Amino acid sequence: MRPRRRELVLAMVAVAILPTFALALDYPVRAVRIIEGFGVGGTPDLISRLIAQWLTQRLGQPFVVDNRTGASGNIATEAVVKAAPDGYTLLTCLSANAINASLYHNLSFSFLGDIVPVAGLIRLPMVLLVNPAFPAKTFPQFIAYAKANPNKINIASPGIGTPMYVAGELINLMAGVKMVDVPYRGPAGAFTDLLAGRVQAFIITVPAAIGFIRSGKLRALAVTGAVRAKVLSDVPTIGEFLPGFEATAWDGTCAPKGTSPAIVDKLNAAINAGLADQEIKAKIKDLGGETMVMTPAQFGKFLADETAKWARVVKFSGAKAD
């Protein structure tokens, strides 16, 4: 009787999981939308289109980017959370999502609770810039000046809730200093005022800053990633002076809660294959980024860690978005 009972249980399990595997084998059978929340031309849009093109070729159905801008990516995220969990609506999730989870208090969704991590895509290092006339020539000198002159360093950011803003607040928290955030609607105005000396510092992605650094118009004091940026190998990381410091802008792919693990695994394998493709790797390098190859579980842990880290920083800063 026991062997028969075991066979019956195994048969029932097989019947239960067979539709899931069949679904994954067939998927996709129609067009898939990748919803992106920051508009045409930005890095999230460019990487979304790059991966969409790869997935279209790899999986044989159109993967189409749908730009849903507004509320720092929350409109796009809400659209995906409300979509059917069938693999046909995906989200380009990014660092703003991890920050928004604590910055916004009236969201209709839980970023970690209502999405499923699929794959990492790209990580963008950032750099702390100062005007060459600023007295600090190194990061330790910068911190010493900030400690001696509280509230005297005006640090530009592209707005509250951006990775650049929280990176500045993380410096305040870990170094025990107080810089004054000056928000801009984008990097152009911040660069103009930094060059003119109206603000003293600015954190921005390395690709956006590299021309100013190489021309000598601005001085790079440190990069914010865990390792030195390849294009700025002589510039130290902030973590070399503040152990444990890390702040990067990143993009990934997520799906609605309830999406079949088999579909998630199929998408993860296809995306990771794309990130290993030499042509795509070269294009990501041109964007100034580094590939972020992860399993769904690894990406899920990464999202949870980022959300928890920025929650502490947002609480420390006192910032609110609603």
CB atoms within 10 A of CB 132: 11
- Check residues 18 and 314 and name the one with the higher pLDDT: 314
CATH number among 3.40.190.150, 3.40.50.620, 3.40.50.300, 3.40.1260.10, domain 2-123+249-317: 3.40.190.150
> 249 by DSSP, 3-state: which?
strand
* Domain 126-240 grouped into CATH 3.40.50.150: no
Tokens standing for residue 185: 């609607």
Region 296-320: mean pLDDT is 96
Tell me how far apart the alpha carbons of residues 297 and 56 are, in angstroms, rounded to a whole number.
Answer: 24
Model pLDDT for residues 167-201, shown as the tens digit of each residue: 999 999 999 999 999 999 888 999 999 999 999 99
Domain ranges across the chain: 2-123+249-317, 126-240
Is the bond into 28 cis (omega within 30 degrees of 0)?
A: yes
> ∠ at Cα 271 (270, 275), nearest 5°?
120
Q: Where would I find the beta strands (DSSP E) of 73-190?
A: 89-94, 115-124, 126-130, 154-157, 180-183
Q: pLDDT (tens digit, 9 = 90+) per residue, 234-254?
A: 999 999 999 999 999 999 999
Backbone angles phi, psi at 87, to 5 degrees: 90, 0
